Amino acid sequence: MTLEQSDLFPRLRAAAGEDWTRYTDHEFVRALTRGDLAEASFRHYLQQDYVFLKHFARAWALAAFKADNLADMRAATEVLDGLLNHEMALHVDLCRRWGIEAEALERTPEARANMAYTRYVIERGLAGDLLELLVALAPCVIGYAEIGAARHAEAGAALADHPYREWLETYAGDEFQGLAGSVAAQMDRLAERHMAPTRFPELAATFTAATRLEIGFWDMGLQQTL
Ligand SMILES: Cc1ncc(CN)c(N)n1
């Protein structure tokens, strides 16, 4: 399934309104696409993102735990595998090329914005069901796919000599786009089974809160705060 064919995700995105635009069109993303994002901001972001991805892997492990059937368990562990062995492996390589060694990554002090976001998502998953958890994870997975595809296309010919090319290529790439499509499809399947119409506002509130925490993550990167 492509993102355009999904049903729940576009409804959640529309319900997030301006917050979705503030996330996907954040100054961090614009500067990165132009190629003039301060290198120190990118390094700070990369290092924090390593910590973020580890907590997100925990959240996907929780998704496997929350699943009540084999298909949902497999879907969660496929994402977990992709995260640990693809996205994080790329991330460690990218960090090394940016002068941040693996040992330094492990010693990264966690920024408050990072803690707030990742623990919020895990708490939603602990308190709610699998659908609630996937909705909390959606701005991360589907948001980055949307940002990656749009910004990679926008950078266009400038990509040949672009300082942030690898980042743009990772999130615009088939692997990540396919992952976002699968998560959107899984949310639709779960919504069909578990979502009474009265539940939508509660799910939209979770999605919007996670979107706002993504905005806080970009702010943290741009301002290099802890
Ligand atoms: C903060 C953040 N959000 C989302 C992604 C994409 N997995 C990420 N790497 N970092």
56-88: per-residue pLDDT in tens?
999 999 999 999 999 999 999 999 998 998 889
For residues 84 and 133, the answer to whether their CB atoms sit within 8 Å is no
158-192: per-residue pLDDT in tens?
999 999 999 999 999 998 999 999 999 999 999 99
Which atom number of ligand 1 is nearest to the Cα of residue 140? 4
For residues 146 and 21, the answer to whether their CB atoms sit within 8 Å is no
149-160: per-residue pLDDT in tens?
999 999 998 999
Q: Output the CA–CA distances (angstroms, integers) from residue 165 to 127, 147, 153, 158, 219, in the order listed.
A: 39, 14, 11, 9, 21
| pLDDT score recorded for residue 195 | 82
User: Does residue 1 have a pLDDT over 90?
Assistant: no
User: Does residue 22 have a pLDDT over 90?
Assistant: yes
What is the set of active-site residues? 140, 214
The percentage of the chain sitting over the pLDDT mark of 70, rounded to a whole number, equals: 97
Which atom number of ligand 1 is nearest to the Cα of residue 91? 9
Q: Any idea which of 32-46, 89-103, 204-218 has the lowest mean pLDDT? A: 89-103
CA–CA distance, 35 with 210 (Å, rounded to integer): 27
Which atom number of ligand 1 is nearest to the Cα of residue 83? 7
Distance 141 CA to ligand 1 centre (A): 7
Q: pTM to 2 decimals?
A: 0.94
Superfamily the domain 3-223 falls into: Heme oxygenase-like (1.20.910.10)
User: Does residue 4 have a pLDDT over 80?
Assistant: no
| pLDDT score recorded for residue 216 | 98
Which of 144, 166, 168 best tests ligand 1's pocket when mutated (most atoms within 8 Å of CB)?
144
- What b-and-e string marks burial along 109-139, b requiring 16 or more CB atoms within 10 Å of the CB? eebebbeebbebbbebbeebebbbbbbbbbb
Alpha-carbon Rg for the chain, nearest whole angstrom, is: 17
| pLDDT score recorded for residue 3 | 54
Show the ligand 1 pocket: residues with CB < 6 angstroms.
49, 52-53, 140, 144, 214, 217
Which of 24, 52, 168 best tests ligand 1's pocket when mutated (most atoms within 8 Å of CB)?
52
Q: Output the CA–CA distances (angstroms, integers) from residue 111 to 11, 40, 52, 157, in the order listed.
A: 31, 15, 10, 35
Distance 107 CA to ligand 1 centre (A): 19
Distance 98 CA to ligand 1 centre (A): 18
Distance 145 CA to ligand 1 centre (A): 10
What are the domain boundaries of the chain? 3-223
The percentage of the chain sitting over the pLDDT mark of 90, rounded to a whole number, equals: 88
